[in-house]
Amino acid sequence: MPQPPMGVRGEARRWYGGTVLQPDITKDRAQAFAQEAFGWMSQRNIPPTPENFELAYNFVSGEHTELKRAIEALISNGCKFDASVMMILHQRYFRTPKEDDAVAELGEKITRELDSVLHILETAGRDHSAYGKTLSHASGELGGAKLGEAAIKNLIDQVIGATRVMEARSKTLEVQLQTSSREVNELRVRLESVRQESLTDQLTGIPNRKAFDKALQESIESSIETGEPLSLVMCDIDHFKTFNDTFGHLTGDQVLRLVALTVKQNVKGQDIAARYGGEEFAVVLPRTTLREAITVGDQIRRAVMSKELMKRSSGEHLGRVTISIGVAAVRNGDTTHSLIERADGCLYAAKRNGRNRVICESDPEVTPGAETQVA
């Protein structure tokens, strides 16, 4: 059986997701449909991406009747199946699950717009075929029995009339298509910004826990695929409760912003610095060994303690804050949970051993399964 196009992570999970494949379909039938789907795509020069294959498979197998009807209508209208038409169809018939309400709402608006584009394309096809019929009728008449002048004039009038109607229709369709495509683009931009917002921490402006979870999961998958190292750095501000109690929560918030900025400024490229929660920050370091990650962690630690804090409104000196850091590197069989757990174990060892320090999993201070509460 032709293999699903690979290379993009997460495809395997999506492969049959959202389709109408019957679970009891026989292997032979599935194989035949898959081959037919690949043939259908290659005939039309359609790139065999997972989304296109999903469409093609469901079309050739005929199990998705609505999709089949839509594609057949487009074929009979002479529609060219380029990337944008395929994308419209995919969005229309195989939408991914809703992320959250705002994203879902925008997704629905886009789908409605895309529906109207599909409708416009189908109408254009019908108009063209009606126009074609008028022309072929006229040419049939002209090529047949000898016609009188009046009959010829009548035929010409019919063709001119049909051409004018077609011209007006085409203009309207063009305007409709332009409007729809502009709206789809605007919605797409808004969707992207809502998505971005849902992955950003409101207080500090850096990626939030959701973004971190996603980044770590993807980085672990990538590290398994490529065999390249991956490290995780977990940071926690020392005695931050006392800081808040002394200077107030709003000042504490400013410090959180400053620490976030400092962490971000001390990582680069593919590294992802995120707010893990409260006064904790995490950095995912792809292609980075444990040793290198310790160096990055220590740079962050030094940078944070080097900042002398001052209250903007009053000029009051607030001293400095320090952070404790735990570092772990990915191992065979690791999950996000196990990797975070080890880095966390190191972080608590750093707390136990006096704070304002970096501890990694190969350090003797780390006691596996040690109590994570620190006095």
The residue ranges that bind Mg ion (CB under 5 A) are 236-237, 240, 279-280
Stretch that binds ligand GH3, among 50-58, 96-104, 245-253, 312-320 (CB under 6 A): 245-253
Residues 319 and 346 sit within 8 Å (Cβ to Cβ): no
Residues 352 and 236 sit within 8 Å (Cβ to Cβ): no
Which residue of the set 54, 113, 279, 361 is catalytic? Answer: 279
Reference 234, options 172, 284, 198; nearest CA is: 284
The verdict on 113 binding ligand GH3 (CB under 6 A) reads no
CB of 255 to ligand GH3, least distance (A): 7
List strands edge to edge, sheet with 358-360: 272-277, 280-286, 230-237, 323-329, 358-360
In this chain, which of 110, 237, 294, 339 binds ligand GH3, going by CB under 6 A? Answer: 237
CB of 84 to Mg ion, least distance (A): 48
Sign of CA dihedral 257, 262, 265, 266: negative
Reference 341, options 228, 220, 225, 232; nearest CA is: 232
Distances (CA, A) of 38 to 42, 54, 86, 115: 6, 10, 14, 26
- Binding to ligand GH3 by CB under 6 A, coded x per residue (else -) over 251-290, reads -xx--x---------------------xx-----------
317-319 vs 280-286, strand pairing mode = unpaired
In this chain, which of 240, 271, 290, 293 binds ligand GH3, going by CB under 6 A? Answer: 240
The verdict on 323 binding ligand GH3 (CB under 6 A) reads no
The verdict on 158 binding ligand GH3 (CB under 6 A) reads no
- Binding to ligand GH3 by CB under 6 A, coded x per residue (else -) over 78-97, reads --------------------
Stretch that binds ligand GH3, among 54-62, 192-200, 244-252, 363-371 (CB under 6 A): 244-252
Reference 198, options 210, 186, 206, 212; nearest CA is: 210
Stretch that binds ligand GH3, among 16-24, 191-199, 249-257, 295-303 (CB under 6 A): 249-257
DSSP alpha helix (H) spans, 266-335: 290-306
Reference 358, options 321, 331, 337, 327; nearest CA is: 327
Reference 117, options 176, 75, 67; nearest CA is: 176
CB of 115 to ligand GH3, least distance (A): 43
Nearer of residues 194 and 237 to Mg ion, judged by Cβ = 237
In this chain, which of 54, 201, 238, 271 binds ligand GH3, going by CB under 6 A? Answer: 238
CB atoms closer than 10 angstroms to residue 306: 9
In this chain, which of 249, 291, 320, 331 binds ligand GH3, going by CB under 6 A? Answer: 249
Residue closest to Mg ion when measured from CB atoms: 236
Whether 371 is a known active-site residue: answer no
H-helix or E-strand spanning residue 50: helix 50-61
Nearer of residues 238 and 361 to ligand GH3, judged by Cβ = 238
Q: Give the burial string for 134-170 (b: 16+ CB within 10 Å, else e).
A: beeebeeeeeeeeeeeeeeeebeeebeebeeebeebe
The verdict on 239 binding ligand GH3 (CB under 6 A) reads yes
User: Could you list the residues that contact ligand GH3 (CB under 6 A)?
Assistant: 203, 236-242, 244, 249, 252-253, 256, 278-279, 351, 355, 374
Q: Would you name the residues annotated as active-site residues?
A: 279
